[in-house]
Every structure is written in structure tokens, then in C-alpha cells.
Structure 1
Amino acid sequence: MTLTLEPDDTALGSASEPTGPVGTARRGRRRIPWSSVGLVAALLVAWELIGRFAFDSSAVMPPPSAVADELTSRFGTYTVHIRSTTSAAAWGWLWGNAIAVCIGIIAVIFPFLESWAMRIAVAVTSLPIIALGPIFQVTLDGNGPKIALAALSVILTTLVGTIVGLTSVDQTNLDLVRALGGSRWDQMRRVRFRAALPPFFAALRISAPAAVLGAIIGEFLGRVETGLGVALVNAQRNVQTDRVWAIALLATALAGIGYAAIALVGRRLTPWVESEVGT
């Protein structure tokens, strides 16, 4: 018997795109978050004043103007480090999420494995990275330790998001697939995958900054010549405060770009979520 069930948007709890003037206005221009813009501007002004007057002699907190000058004057030297950290974080993010998704799907198809999968993931993630780093350095070559630490940093988050998404399905839809002769895999690909997209992309967003952090920690441990972590350690040793702050801002921006990029992709692939929130 061939199963020809198509997912029902209404049964899955998703709302169609609104039409008419309301839908046009909702899909139109987005409001500029002026309150957030004003808060950022106020923080920058406060930072500039504190850096110039309160910490002028100690140089513990350079003003943002000095940090910006450091970035613009030496940005060419930072590009190599940015590319190295981005590459390691991206590969770790891909590997970690792939492993988490595979484990999550298996755990949902075979429910008796779910508790064991979660326990193992929590136990592995709870291990201190500082202790795992030297082990990865001995067993892996090149950028392997950085990629492994980045992957380890994202597994638990994506695993939880995958399992939560795949199990947050209306039982009526699962019963319908079963009544039509569908298997557990048919339930997975025709019902669960679509329902899992919003929690899954939420986990992917959170895992992007975690992957960047894992890659930078891997660079702290040595055996690599490029990366934001390497540049940060060198700046600390040379007491280059402006450069330390500049590298910290670059790492923050890199994590933020990853988060925003995944959020944009998730918004494009799950338009019904935004429609439900707006109604």
C-alpha cells in the first residue's frame, strides 16, 4: 500500500499567510527598533566617557574610538585570524549538528533510546573543555582540536531542539498516518519534520555562538598559528589593551553574524511561525 498523505497545514496548527490589507501591511516594512538603537548609542557614549576619563591612566578600558582606530588601521592583519576561526567554527557547527540530528531522529523513532541519548549527551557536554582540549590535541591533527571542541559545544543544544521539535506533534496526525498504513519513518518525514522546524532552527541559532566560543577555546590551547584565540593570547602577553578589546569585539560580531544568518534562514523556511505570532 502506497502512502499518499500530504501534511495538512491546519491540522498541524500552522496558519496560512494573511491576505488583504492586513497581510500586505504585515509583510511590508518592519518597524525600526529605535529603543534598541538608542540604548546602544547611550552605551557607546558612556563607554567613551568612562574610557577617556575614568580609566585614562590605566588603559584598562580603552574608549570605543581607540578600539575602532585599532580595527581600521590593522584590519588586514585580522582577516587571517577571522577566516581561521570562522572555518573551524563552521565545520564544528556542521559536524556537531549533524551528529545531534542523527541521534535525535534515532531516539524519536526508537523511544526507549531517548533517555540514554540525553544522558550521554549531558554527560559528554558536562566534561570540562579544558580537560578535553589536551586529549583532542594528542589525538587530532591540524585544526582538528578546534573543530572537535566547536562540535562538542553544539551537540546538546541541537539534540534537545531536535527531540523537542520531533515530539511536539499533534497525535491526531500520527494516528492518521498509521491508519493509512504508514510506518514510523512515514510519520517522521510527513509530519514530524515539518513540526520540528521552529524548535530546530531555534537550537541552530543558539549553537552558532557556542561553536565560535568552542573554536576560540581550542585556539587558546595552542598548536595553531592563526585564529582569534591566538591573536587574543598574543595581545594579552604584550599588554595591548586596545587590541584585546578589538579582538573581543570581532569575536562577538562573528557570533552575532552567525546567529542572525541562521535566524534569517529559519524565518524564510518557517513563514507560518511569524504569521501565528502576529495573529
Structure 2
Amino acid sequence: MSAIRLPGWASALIGAVGVVAVWWIASLLVPASGGYAPVPSPLAVLQALADDGIELYWSNFAVTITEAGIGYFWGNLIALILATIVLLAPWLDGVINQIAVITYCVPIVAIGPLAIIILGGARSAGDPSATAVFFAGLSVVFTTVVGSLLGLKAADKAALDVVTVYGGSRFTQLRKVRLIAALPSILNSLQIAVPAAFLGAILGEYFGKIDRGVGPMLVSSQVSLNSPRVWALFLICALVAIIGFALVGLIARMVAPWSSGRSARS
């Protein structure tokens, strides 16, 4: 008997209903203290969204999405360059991997104030914060370097030998064989980097010198004990990350359809 496989939309719908049900139960079980409800009900959050209006959220999310997009581009570009350098100069493998690990393990709380001093925040209200862009880029380097290297090193050795026999250099191997073989892995890394860049941008905004963005809005909502707005921000952040993740995944299927793991007939 073959296992029952639900379509993607059905699985997503069941998961969403389950999350909302657990959320609603938690809002009933967690007691309010001094008029402050740490877990507001889904209806209270929807009411907060309606009362605040879409303009309030869009004006702040537009800034953070811009910061995440800029950091995403530069962080992934640097990561791909580092992965390419390893293949062209294998003796730098240890150095590049150490750099990638450092970007992943560096304590953001420790370097955040330094980044603010060196890079500053937004030049004016509504402009992207240089610090937020920096942390967005920093957040994607490790995953993209590791994923790209795994894909580039997984190229078929026989195909690489054919290039060598015909007088091809390492750069020719990279262009003709390794890039094609590594494309699914690189695209998967770029997909994972989307929510990482968005989270990095929000963390960068927490260090100040910016008047508009998801970070400042979260801080002000927490200070004023506006829990429905805080939860509304959490939901929109998750939605933005999911949409970005899905868009890059769609592009990956268009560029490298074999990366989905399905055969051409299915």
C-alpha cells in the first residue's frame, strides 16, 4: 500500500490551521498581568492590524526589506567569490573556511556598537541603515560559502578529467563542469539566505540611529506593552520571509529544474 501524499497547498493549510489553533489555546491559558496579555488572541492581532492600517506597517517594512535586499546581494556575492577562490587556489581552503565560520560565530551584540560607530545608521528618515545592511550581508556569508563549496566540489571527477585531458585549466573546469553541477546547491543556499538576511537587517536596526524600520517599531511596541502589535509584526516578518524564500525557490526551479529531485517525467 502506497503512502498518501498530500499536495503542497493542503499541507500548508493544515499546518496553518494547527498553528492558529495552538496559538488560540495558548492565548486562553496564559493569563494577563496588569492588563497586559503576553499572548493575545488571533482576533486581537487582526484587530491591531486593522486599527494601525497597512500604511504604518508598509512604511517600516519597506525600509527593512530594502536593507535586507542590499545586504543579501553583497553578502552572497562575497560568499560566491570566496568559494570560487578556493577552487582556483585550493591552498586557501582553510583560510576561507575560517573566514566563513567567523562570520557565523561573531557575537553581534559585541560588534554592533562598533558597527554603529564605523558605519553609522540611516542618513535620513526612511533611508536604509548601513549597519542593518552590514548585518544582513554578514548573516548570509557562512551558509552560501559552505553550500557553494559543497556543490562545486561534488562535480563528477570523470568530467573534470576530460577537461584536463583536453588541456583545460582549473578555470575551464569551473566554467564547464563545476558551476553546472553546483547550481542546485548554490540556489538552495541562496534560498536559505533570504530569511537570514531579513533577520540580520532587523538585528542591525536594534542598535539605533534609525527612525523607521521593523526594529524600531518592535522596540517601541515592546516599550509601550502593545503585545497585539508585537505579534502582528512577528506574523508579517514570517510572511515576508516565507514569500522571499518561496520566490527564490521558484527561480531555482526555473533555472535548475533538476534540483527539485524529480524526474523529467513527473
**Corresponding residue of 1:85:** 64
Are 1:48 and 1:65, in contact at CA under 8 Å, matched by a contact in 2? no
1:34 maps to a residue whose letter is A
Is 1:175 the counterpart of 2:178? The answer is no
1:1-279 matched pairs, under 5 angstroms: 31-52=7-28, 54-55=30-31, 58-74=36-52, 75-141=54-120, 142=122, 143-274=129-260, 275-276=262-263
Indicate the larger mover: 120-129 or 173-182: 120-129
Q: Deviations over 1:114-147 (max 9, x none)?
A: 1110012212321101111111111113311000
Cα deviation for residue 226 of structure 1 reads 0.7
SS at match of 2:114: helix
Are 2:36 and 2:225, in contact at CA under 8 Å, matched by a contact in 1? no
Structure 1 stretches of 5 or more lacking a match?
A: 1-29
Are 1:55 and 1:62, in contact at CA under 8 Å, matched by a contact in 2? no
Percentage of matched positions with identical amino acids: 34
**Corresponding residue of 1:8:** none
Cα gap change, 1:125/1:35 in structure 2, threshold over 3 Å: closer, same or farther? closer
Cα gap change, 1:42/1:125 in structure 2, threshold over 3 Å: closer, same or farther? closer
**Alignment length (residue pairs):** 250
Counterparts of 1:239 and 1:202, CA distance in 2:
39
Counterparts of 1:59 and 1:133, CA distance in 2:
31
Cα gap change, 1:278/1:49 in structure 2, threshold over 3 Å: closer, same or farther? farther
Q: Deviations over 1:29-64 (max 9, x none)?
A: x93442442232133134224425654664111111
2:156 maps to a residue whose letter is D
Q: Deviations over 1:2-47 (max 9, x none)?
A: xxxxxxxxxxxxxxxxxxxxxxxxxxxx934424422321331342
Are 1:216 and 1:229, in contact at CA under 8 Å, matched by a contact in 2? yes
Indicate the larger mover: 33-42 or 145-154: 33-42
Counterparts of 2:205 and 2:264, CA distance in 1:
41
Q: Deviations over 1:193-216 (max 9, x none)?
A: 111111111111111111111100
**Corresponding residue of 2:125:** none
2:167 maps to a residue whose letter is G
Q: Give the structure-1-normalised TM-score.
A: 0.84
SS at match of 2:225: coil
Structure 2 stretches of 5 or more lacking a match?
A: 1-5, 123-128
**Larger Rg, first or second structure (1 or 2):** 1
1:148 maps to a residue whose letter is F
Cα deviation for residue 255 of structure 1 reads 1.4
SS at match of 1:34: helix
* CA-atom RMSD in angstroms: 1.9
Cα gap change, 1:124/1:41 in structure 2, threshold over 3 Å: closer, same or farther? closer
Counterparts of 2:25 and 2:101, CA distance in 1:
44
1:45 maps to a residue whose letter is A
Counterparts of 1:52 and 1:69, CA distance in 2:
17
SS at match of 1:154: helix
1:221 maps to a residue whose letter is F
